[in-house]
Amino acid sequence: MKPIISPSLLSADFGNLERDITMINQSEADWLHLDIMDGVFVPNITFGMPVISAIKKISEKPLDVHLMITQPERYIADFKKAGADCLSVHWEASIHLHRTIHAIKNEDMLAGVALNPHTPVALLNDIIKDLDFVLIMSVNPGFGGQEFIERSYQRIQELKEIIIKNDSNALIEVDGGVNTENAEFLVKAGADILVAGNAIFKAENPLDAIYKLRNCLA
């Protein structure tokens, strides 16, 4: 099975955003990944509801919205209204994780939990059956273009074992340093969804880069 490809808009040309989203529409990508940062949970600020709503009007791909914000439960309905189709919250930012996940599902969105590189995947044992996907951060969250953390392969394998052991249908998404050189190894480790930013938007031929990621070609 080929991986789901979710290009990260954080690496797009914000001066030509409509052009870049249109390119994604015409590609073999499956989703469009949006990183939402509040300057508190991570040391960066990206965009909010009005920009997401504008993106939704252009994008023909489901919006894969990754919340890197404190108290994400306050905004679940707002992100749905803005156009989110998949919504992931950080384990580290969610005190009442079970309640938050079911609030996302009640808004008819796919619900995911994101884990920072230092957070043990075993912490998801009690909630894995409730999740549609888990987002493994393979860089420290906050900025694009960082170097891939090699231990991420082991974390993906460990998570896959937890999913199988608990008879869960959760998919594994990987975000950070994903490129055509490591895509094949990520999928072999157990990844189902690949988020890529610079590897797509900074490529000489973004459409070809997406094709190679989807087919795990170097």
Choose the CATH number for 4-214 among 3.20.20.70, 3.10.129.10, 3.40.50.300, 3.60.15.10: 3.20.20.70
Could you give the percent of the chain with pLDDT greater than 90? 93
Tokens at 162, concatenated: 């937890």
Mean pLDDT of the chain: 96
106 CB-near residues (< 8 Å, 6+ apart): none
State how far the Cα of 100 lies from the Cα of 111, in Å rounded to an integer.
9
35 in active site: yes
38 in active site: no
pLDDT score, position 143: 67
Q: With bands split at pLDDT 50, 70 and 90, how would you rate the model's confidence at 1?
A: confident
pLDDT score, position 53: 98
State how far the Cα of 9 lies from the Cα of 137, in Å rounded to an integer.
16
Entry pTM: 0.96
Q: Identify the active-site residue in 20, 35, 132, 192.
A: 35
What confidence tens digit (pLDDT) does each residue in 114-141 have?
Answer: 999 999 999 999 999 999 999 999 999 8
Q: Identify the active-site residue in 30, 64, 85, 175.
A: 175
pLDDT score, position 141: 81
| In the chain, domain spans | 4-214
Q: With bands split at pLDDT 50, 70 and 90, how would you rate the model's confidence at 77?
A: very high
pLDDT score, position 145: 64
What confidence tens digit (pLDDT) does each residue in 6-32 have?
Answer: 999 999 999 999 999 999 999 999 999
